[in-house]
Amino acid sequence: MSGALLLTLAAAVAIGLALGGLGGGGSILTVPVLVYLAGADPRQAIAMSLVVVGVTSAVALVPHARAGNVRWSTGLLFGAAGMAGAYAGGWLAQFVPERVLLAGFAVMMLVTAAAMLGLCCAARSPAPERAEGRRPWPKILAEGAAVGLVTGLVGAGGGFLVVPALALLGGLPMPAAVGTSLLVIALKSGAALAGYLHSTTVDWPLALAVTALAVAGSLAGAKIARAVPPGALRKGFGWFVVVMGVGVLASQIAAAA
């Protein structure tokens, strides 16, 4: 087994930890890991990331649901809108150059990292949960479709756009926003993958190996989420994503020069 493959599989555990502990961040890690460690081309890496993140999110959803931290009606509504946008984005991605896709992914890393870091204070003092019927459903649908479109195009922007939207727009407390985001991510990843399969193939042995380890990491991440203050965890991971995003964007700028 090559060193690059070992590093890829080790990184898969970190992908699961991010999803299980933070309700997002899987694609933020998965695409660079598959491109720079496993040697996949960007389009194929995005498609495989949707497999990894979709399955891992579905598994990580279980302990959050058992803890009562999933708002099913909000998640299904947001997720349905996200699926429509994600399928459209995955289909449109075949017309976008790979270098543009990867640069767009890097920009999305920085945007989502900013959302994470900006949400730290809100995580310490979450807004009170609104009654289910009083939530702004049209805005939630519009937000879901927009986030889904981004997810489908660049394979990112899932959890760390969904979590702020559910917490700030949907009025969910942070634990519920994290748990519900996993439902949304699983739905959107499946729809985006269906769109991508029109124009690319998936290396299934690699995708399934990374998925298996990410699932194991997600179960550990759910336990860590209960032991570590969410603000501290989110802030540390946010700065880590900033560094990665700058690195990916710089590499694409250098390649285009």
Q: What one-character-per-residue DSSP string does 55-111 give?
A: HHHHHHHHHHHHTT---HHHHHHHHHHHHHHHHHHHHHGGGS-HHHHHHHHHHHHHH
Q: Quick one: average pLDDT of 183-194?
A: 87
CB of 244 within 8 A of CB of 28?
A: yes
CB of 151 within 8 A of CB of 85?
A: yes
Q: Tens of pLDDT along 19-29?
A: 777 666 666 77
Q: Tens of pLDDT along 125-162?
A: 444 444 444 566 777 788 788 878 877 777 665 666 67
For residue 120, pLDDT over 70 is answered with: no
CB of 5 within 8 A of CB of 210?
A: no
**Strongest mean pLDDT among 59-63, 72-76, 158-162:** 72-76
The structural domains of the chain, with segments of one domain joined by +, span 3-256
Q: What is the mean pLDDT of the chain?
A: 78
| Distance (Å, whole) CA 208 – CA 189 | 15
The residues near 159 (Cβ < 8 Å, ≥ 6 apart) are 19, 22, 23, 24, 25, 26, 181, 182, 185
Least confident residue range of 12-21, 35-44, 126-135, 225-234:
126-135
Least confident residue range of 117-131, 164-178, 195-209:
117-131
Look at 126 and 252; give whichever has higher pLDDT: 252
The pLDDT assigned to 124 comes to 41
Q: Quick one: average pLDDT of 118-122?
A: 49
| Distance (Å, whole) CA 5 – CA 124 | 39
Q: Measure the N-to-C terminal CA separation of the chain; round to a whole number of Å.
A: 35
Instruction: State how far the alpha carbon of 256 is from the alpha carbons of 100, 153, 251, in Å.
Output: 10, 20, 9
Q: Quick one: average pLDDT of 48-65?
A: 86
Tell me the pTM: 0.72
